[in-house]
Structure 1
Amino acid sequence: MRKIAVQSLPLLEVITDISQALSISYQENCGEYHLDLPPDVGEGYIKGINFDGGFGIIMYKCNFKEDVEFHFVVDDVHPLKFLYCLVGELHHRFQDGKENNSIEQYQSSIVASKNRNGHILHFKANTDIEIGSLEIDREKFKIKMDCELKNLTTELKDLFRDKDASKQFYHNGYFSLQIADLFRNTESFENNDFIRRIYLEGKAYQILTHQIIQFHDDLQDSGSRTVLRQSEIHQINKATRIIEEEINNLDNIEKIAERVGLNINKLQQGFRHMHSGTVNEYIQNTRLDLAKKLLNKTDYNISEIVEKIGLSSKSYFSKVFKERYGISPSDFRKKNSRE
């Protein structure tokens, strides 16, 4: 296993320590530091940027040829870290601890070491790993954000204001769709100048905002949580398939939510995110899309089509079809049969 000691805190010195340990150089552009892994170590890169007020972000996108540990062991108070595993799996432990905390894909962890104790990040060999780390120097950050911190819960307020690191803190959970989208946006933004710095700072603060919202949501019991996690996307996809495949004899929304293992609030949020509408709107769209196909490509009469799309009233079907397409079902069929 390769161990890389990072004995500095400012981001430039962190990147410098890593580059020296790997015997490579790094690049800098408008305060953003970037180093590419040498071929004998692996593939990918590590990059980061500091913003005003003790706030910064580091991104690891790597595939190492052997297990690698980054030992952040500077003899000083360490930053509060928000770790996000976008791809792969990361292991974290406190410098004086033996327990490895596993951070799996789509999970995030809030970690704060005690006193001058550091952090160790473990990357497995031959594994694509993508990690985002928000880094907060609490002494500097408190000066900039003291007014905003007053509105946090007691637990988070104490965590952000613990500038002397008097307490150790660890919290783990699955991160939200919004956070996943924000990280994707930071990767896809191509400007390489001052505009990029402003853009990245804005996205970093948005990630932190959603993380705080998510932390509050994590404190609720599972049936009351409203923040949809990235890990729950497959359940939204399952609900989508249920609607499309069972449209002629569809369960109610409560039953669909139960079948896919989500509460109704999360199911609705997922459909708004993925389909730009409510579950009922998606059901209605699915029925009308299917009706158009059946009118255009089959000889089913209107009553049969109404049954196949899961409705019971011909008059209601005609009403909603005309509202959507500006033509009655029978006239739509006549028009398309002539074309």
Structure 2
Amino acid sequence: MFLLIVVYLISRKLPNLNNFKSLNTNFLTYVKSVMIEITINAESSEGALLQIQDLLGGDLHEHCGELTLRFDNDIAKGCIRCINFDWGVNLVEFDAIFFEDILFVDNHKNYNPIHFSYCSLGNFKHRFENQKEFHTIEQYHSSILVAEKNIQHFTLLQKDKHLIFNSIRIIRKEFVQKRNTQLTELNKKLYEVFVDQHHETTYAYYSPIHLRMEDRVKSLRDLKAEGIIRILQIEGEVYQLLAMHIARHERFENNDPIPHMLLKSELKKVKSYAEKILTEPSLNYNLEKISRECGLSQAKLQEGFKFLYARTVAEYIKHVRLEAARELMNTTDLNISQIVYTIGFTSRSYFSKIFKETYEMTPNEFKKKIILLNEEKEPN
């Protein structure tokens, strides 16, 4: 995994309280306890990684346009990965634990891209130079941040917390030259942010919890391809993430309800139980039992499963069991009847019926197909 952070970083220096005279007493007191201040001044992500390497050490490698910095020392342990695309689009992924509180100061005067960020693990705090209070971006939350020229970003990463964060950076002067961007289709506020090439606008949007975005981020982190296929897949995932950021902001501007009313803690319970079903599909599940074990109402359970998996509880259980059945047919010598009871079904006829409805072939036809494929793979 990689913590995705906006970076054009970094020259290290001890905190200079003269920079914070306009802040309130509470913040000044806090800054005194900050061990390390990192000033962001490089305009390119490549320059940023070199500055980080100068501060943290580590090994910097480039492969097919993808830069990776790995470090392990008394200040931090982790990995930063960055990649640039055409039209001013850049992705930085950062997965690290800092052993001191770190205050990042984005000190760019005339170079202020839009940052579309998402926190996968832990949390971080952000504010603009002209604000007194930090806003906390929690796990599974996203943000859209842009500062006008001469306004600094302050990002606070707290020590001893594993933080995974990603940021897609859009350089507006380049991006608006891209054909078919359809910027005029954006809502008024986001359109104004995108076309503000003179960096005259400061804007922040902090989204509610967005677990579907985490699934997309996980797909990005788990890519295994190499070379040009990998680069194309990463770019595709980046644009998918960007679309999700924009769609969520569109709901906010239109006052449309976010498609769930569950708390973050409740969604975690749903996700945890779904993982239990995935690992133990043969158990006897019913809505009343799951509701009792999760401590959630049946209505909230259904809402949570629909939000996370686009399925009702029953549909999710059926899907998991059918996928488990296919895996057993492919990897074991169990007959169909044995498989039926192994995955938790009680009726072979019902299993055969829903299997054919889902995969457009009977279990026996699927089993024969697997046998034929395996025979073709065997050496003569």
Taking structure 1 as the reference length, the TM-score comes to 0.72
Q: CA deviation at 1:237?
A: 4.9
Superposed displacement of residue 280, structure 1: 5.9
Matched, 1:270 2:347: no
Q: Which amino acid aligns with 2:135?
A: N
Given that residues 69 and 122 in structure 1 are in contact (C-alpha distance below 8 angstroms), is that contact kept between their aligned partners in structure 2? yes
Matched residue, 2:140: 106
- 1:170-181 map, 5 Å: 170-181=204-215
Aligned to 1:188: 222
Name the residue aligned to 1:202.
236
**Larger Rg, first or second structure (1 or 2):** 1
2:104/2:155 contact within 8 Å kept: yes
The equivalences for 1:26-105 within 5 A come to 26-105=60-139
1:30 to partner: Cα distance: 2.0
Residues 146, 280 of structure 1: CA spacing in aligned structure 2 closer, same or farther, 3 A cutoff?
A: same
Q: CA deviation at 1:159?
A: 1.5
Query: Identity, % of aligned pairs?
Result: 23
- Looking at structure 2, the residues matched to 10 and 84 of structure 1 have their Cα atoms a distance apart, in angstroms, of 21
Give the conservation status (yes or no) of the 8 Å contact 1:134–1:204: yes
Matched AA of 2:259: T
Corresponding residue for residue 324 of structure 2: none
SS of match in other structure, 1:159: helix
Q: CA deviation at 1:169?
A: 0.6
Aligned counterpart for 1:226 among listed residues 237, 254, 259: 259
The question of whether the paired residues in 1 share the 8 Å contact of 2:42 and 2:48 is answered with yes
- Shift of residue 23, structure 1, vs aligned partner: 4.3
Q: Name the CA shift for 1:176/1:68 in 2 (closer, same or farther; >3 Å).
A: same
Q: Secondary structure at the match of 1:122?
A: strand
Deviation at 1:195, TM superposition (A): 2.6
Q: CA deviation at 1:146?
A: 6.0
CA RMSD of aligned residues (A): 4.0
Q: Deviations over 1:11-64 (max 9, x none)?
A: 111212222233455222222222112312221111211110000111111101
Report the residue type matching 2:60 in the other structure: Y
Change in CA separation of 1:130 and 1:74 when aligned onto 2, cut-off 3 Å? same
CA distance in 2, matches of 1:284, 1:84: 32
Report SS of the residue matched to 1:5: strand
User: Offset of 1:116 from its aligned partner?
Assistant: 3.1
Determine whether 1:151 maps to 2:224. Answer: no
For 2:58 and 2:317, locate their aligned partners in 1 and report how far apart those are by CA, in whole Å. 56
Which runs of no fewer than 5 residues in structure 1 stay unpaired?
Answer: 287-291, 297-308, 310-316, 327-339
Question: Is the CA contact (8 Å cut-off) linking 1:110 and 1:172 kept in structure 2?
Answer: yes
Give the secondary-structure state (helix, strand or coil) at the position aligned to 1:150.
Answer: helix
The TM-score with structure 2 as length reference comes to 0.65
Deviation of the 1:271 alpha carbon:
4.2
Aligned with 1:37: secondary structure? strand
CA distance in 1 between partners of 2:109 and 2:269 (Å): 45
Measure how far apart 1:214 and its partner are. 1.6
SS of 2:72 mapped into structure 1: coil
User: Which stretch shows the higher mean deviation, 4-13 or 142-151?
Assistant: 142-151
Measured at CA, do residues 144 and 41 of structure 1 come closer, stay the same or move farther in structure 2, by a change above 3 Å? Answer: same
- Which residue matches 1:301? none
Contact map agreement 1:67 1:124 (CA 8 A) in 2: yes
Distance of 1:109 and 1:218 partners within structure 2: 12
